[in-house]
Amino acid sequence: MVDWLDACRNRDLTALLDLYADDAKLECQCGEVKVSEGRAELESYWRPRLNGLVPTAFGLEEITPTAEGVVLDYLSHEGKPVRILFTFSRDARIQRTACAPAAQQSHQAAAGVVDQAD
C-alpha cells in the first residue's frame, strides 16, 4: 500500500499502473459511479486525478487487513476522506479496488467496502 500511496503522491502514473494486474477493475463511488477495467481505462481514470493534487492528497489515515485484502482510509486527490478496498492477484498485483467517500457507510457496504474498525 505504501508503493500505491507513493506513486500517487509522486504523480507517477506508470509506477501506479504497474501495481495493477493487466485485467484489474476499479470501482469508484466518489461522486458519479465509475467502473474502469484494464490498463487503458485505469490510465484514463488516474491521469486527471494525479494532475490535480491538493497538498494533503493521498495522506494515510489507516490501513486494515481483511480476509479479502486490505482496506485503506486516505485523503483523495481533492483532500477528501476516502475508504478503498484492495484485493490482489496471485502475483500480488492489485486485482480490484472499490472506493467510496469515508462518510458514506451505506454506499461503502454496497461497494463491498466494509468498516473493519468496529
CA distance 55 to 52: 10
Single pTM value for the model: 0.82
Task: Quote the strand ranges of the chain, DSSP E.
Answer: 20-28, 34-37, 60-65, 70-75, 81-88, 94-101
Residue-wise pLDDT for 8-56, tens only, equals: 999 999 999 999 999 999 999 988 888 999 999 999 999 999 998 999 9
108 burial via Cβ count (<10 Å: 0-12, 13-18, 19+)? buried
Sheet holding 94-101, edge to edge: 34-37, 20-28, 94-101, 81-88, 70-75, 60-65
**Residue 77: exposed, middle, or buried by beta-carbon count in 10 A (0-12, 13-18, 19+)?**
buried
Q: According to the model, what pLDDT value does residue 104 have? A: 54
Which CATH code for domain 2-111?
3.10.450.50
